[in-house]
Structure 1
Amino acid sequence: MIFQQALRRELSFTTGGVFLVLVTIMITTLVIRVLGFAANGAVSPEDTLVLIALATLGYMAVLLTVSLFVAVLIVLVRWYKDSEMIVWFASGLSITSLIGPILRFAAPLIVIIALLALFVWPWANRESTLISQRFQQRSDVAMVVAGQFKESAKAERVFFIEDLDVQKNEVKNIFATEMKNGRVSVAVASTGYMQNNADGGKSIVLHQGRRYEGLPAEPNFRILEFDDYTTDIRSKETLQPPPRDREKTVMELLDDPNPATLNPNRAELLWRVGLPLMALGLVLIAIPLAYVNPRLGNYTALFYAVLVYLIYSNLLNLTQNFVSQGKVSVFVGVWLIHLLAILMAIVLIRNRINPSLNWWRRQLPAWISK
């Protein structure tokens, strides 16, 4: 009982600490990435915090999987290094005695990982796509804001209005530039007004202004004065794009009748189901992998742990791609990698039970090895 309480307490603290560190690194990376998208005009600067929060929620299952794996390794490595495992082994416990308490600690987190992968992951991806699409498909009417330069979605139009009277539809000190047919057109006027068109759109009429066409260094550069100049404000219909595989709910993946998306849907479902199974396999592998000679006191186990995780996750992604391309059946891909991980954990555990025997004799049953 004391052994289990100490193990559970250290696993809880270590998992929480590792998770906070990984979340901090993830948020820092996302801030740089999303701000880069905002600077390039791909997303609205006003939506950056929401997009960062959605992306963090989407990757929460992966972060919990890594946190659980690393926490088990760190705790057991420290126990080996500080000779605490020797004390427990001398008390009659073996390495198999670690499996039950660690799995009982990991079971609730594995359930949370499954829920995050099955439900939160597609929802966060879908919401991020909708926010980005709404910004890309925003109408030019949204650009008309007094005192601000506003750029269109495709960066081909820029408006500036110093003053706007909504009740009278009057505007003052208007600046409008547009790229059309490879030529730059700039129109400026001191007064103007907004009007509704017959097709339901809107336009701005500029009074007593001047228009510049072309580039100043070119011979065809023109300066035109006008009494009235009308520039249309195109109202765009916001279209909701069809969901991608990573944005579909579990029921949408299962009920999609389109044969062309059958394999991609199965591959996406394989990845979501495989994530909690990978967490279980990594926890079992971490138990024997954490062995450290207390006399040496090194942390080579962490190096092997990184290698194991990279191989495991890449194999899962590779299987997902093969299933998506129809090269591997989903009924084979859903269990093969995880079965290999569990077999690897069993072999490593048996090797740690009696390391004095040859490695091939450790895999035999006790009555045969005698």
Structure 2
Amino acid sequence: MDRMMMSDLLKTIFSVLLVLVVIIVSRNFIKILKMAVDGLISTEAILSILGLKIVLASAAFIVPAVFVSVLMVLGRMYRDQEMSALSSAGAGVGRLYIAVFKTIIPVVFAAAWMALYVSPWAASKVERIIFEEKQNIGVRAIAEGKFSEYNKGNLIFYVEKITTDNVMHDVFVQDKRENKVGIVTAEKAEVRTINNDLYIVFINGERVQGNAGEVDFVLETFAEYAMRLDSSTEIQENPITGIDTTKLLQTQDLKELSELHHRLSVPFSIIVLAIMAVPLAQVSPRSGVYGNLAAAFLIYFSFANFEKVSGSWMVNGEIPVWLGFWGVYFLAVLFIVILLVRLYGLAWVILQLKGKLV
């Protein structure tokens, strides 16, 4: 029984999670493509951002994937009367919980690792990639065969040809700085990052600096000449979802505590919802294909929304910090007790509790 149920649960969890991730990432992919079309990010950054979005979506939707999977597997067993055969063999609700938790305990640890460490790293990485791409947006505007402006018109580029290795050939640049006009022509040029600053390095060219009508012109030839590009004055701000968990453990800020609670809620939610799913999955053999899934979706969305609302109340100071985290689980435990009483009777629940306490 355990091996069969574990196999079915793992396959269903993977399938449901895959479907959810594909749906969400497909919507994000459209937004990423729009950013690339608008020139906000380069085509090379699309795959990196998409891969990180897959990681974020997997961490975000593993809780509903486990909840729905337990309902689907146990509901199918009830409809196919497999549960009746197991009950006649002496396998009660305790055996169901053992089989379910043998499967989801490793999933809980994996989900906790993703929520506490992998997801913040991925969120921070996405923000950093987008920030760096925005910093280089002017350089990406340089196109072969046409004049391109940069630094509010103070730099004007003309490139005859750009090869696949991003090397520019036959380059002309007009540079206006400090009331001086400079003209640079070079055989080749390429963009380099030097000491975290962006430079265009010209190779084998000439430089002329001065103003029209004046005689103090500067003429020089060079093998290499580097011109620093002024980066955007925008400061990169790490989103709260990208803050390292170890820092959140030491914070007293209510918004950061709310984010910490959100991450910690992933493993706790999997455990609580899996316990809830076992009695909720019980359906009659004549029920529809989807059994109690409609009610399950309503329960999950109520659970998730109340979790967000309690977090918002905590941030606003309307409820204490401990209640902002544990309040939703108190209600979930109460609902689980109601489900067990409805299905197995109050006497059975009392006997089970006495057996655990003795």
Query: TM-score by structure 1 length?
Result: 0.72
- Cα 1:149–1:66 shift into 2, 3 Å: farther
User: Is the CA contact 1:125–1:247 (under 8 Å) kept in the aligned structure 2?
Assistant: yes
Paired amino acid for 1:365: I
**Secondary structure, in 3 states, of the residue corresponding to 1:294?**
coil
Paired amino acid for 1:45: T
Residue number in structure 2 paired with 1:171: 171
* Counterparts of residues 38-57 of structure 1 (less than 5 Å): 38-57=36-55
Whether 1:23 and 2:21 are equivalent positions in the alignment is yes
CA distance in 2, matches of 1:246, 1:168: 39
**Secondary structure, in 3 states, of the residue corresponding to 1:193?**
strand
User: Is the CA contact 2:144–2:160 (under 8 Å) kept in the aligned structure 1?
Assistant: yes
Residue number in structure 2 paired with 1:365: 350
- Cα 1:352–1:155 shift into 2, 3 Å: farther
- Cα 1:25–1:364 shift into 2, 3 Å: closer
User: Is the CA contact 1:264–1:325 (under 8 Å) kept in the aligned structure 2?
Assistant: no
Query: TM-score by structure 2 length?
Result: 0.74
- What does the per-residue CA deviation read over 1:15-38, in whole Å, with 9 as the maximum and x for residues that have no partner? 222222223223322211211222
2:61 to 60, 63, 83: 63
User: Is the CA contact 2:16–2:69 (under 8 Å) kept in the aligned structure 1?
Assistant: yes
- Cα 1:149–1:346 shift into 2, 3 Å: farther
Paired amino acid for 2:273: L
Listed as ranges, the gaps of 5+ residues in structure 2 are 176-182, 190-197, 209-226, 353-358
Residue number in structure 2 paired with 1:89: 87
**Secondary structure, in 3 states, of the residue corresponding to 1:59?**
helix
Listed as ranges, the gaps of 5+ residues in structure 1 are 177-190, 208-231, 355-360
CA distance in 2, matches of 1:31, 1:272: 25
1:192 Cα deviation from its structure 2 partner: 6.3
1:83 Cα deviation from its structure 2 partner: 1.0
Residue number in structure 1 paired with 2:31: 33
CA distance in 2, matches of 1:335, 1:299: 31
Residue number in structure 1 paired with 2:330: 339
- What does the per-residue CA deviation read over 1:318-339, in whole Å, with 9 as the maximum and x for residues that have no partner? 2222222332222112211122
User: Is the CA contact 2:41–2:137 (under 8 Å) kept in the aligned structure 1?
Assistant: no
Residue number in structure 2 paired with 1:193: 185
User: Is the CA contact 2:272–2:332 (under 8 Å) kept in the aligned structure 1?
Assistant: yes
2:238 to 215, 235, 243: 243
- Cα 1:147–1:88 shift into 2, 3 Å: farther
- Cα 1:144–1:32 shift into 2, 3 Å: closer
Residue number in structure 2 paired with 1:292: 283
**Secondary structure, in 3 states, of the residue corresponding to 1:365?**
helix
Percent of residue pairs bearing the same amino acid type: 25
* Counterparts of residues 79-228 of structure 1 (less than 5 Å): 79-138=77-136, 140-141=138-139, 143-144=141-142, 146-147=144-145, 161-163=159-161, 171=171, 193=185
CA distance in 2, matches of 1:121, 1:329: 27
**Secondary structure, in 3 states, of the residue corresponding to 1:296?**
coil
1:170 Cα deviation from its structure 2 partner: 5.2
Superposition RMSD in Å = 4.0
Between the two proteins, the alignment pairs up a number of residues equal to 313
- What does the per-residue CA deviation read over 1:218-256, in whole Å, with 9 as the maximum and x for residues that have no partner? xxxxxxxxxxxxxx9842168652322211111222335
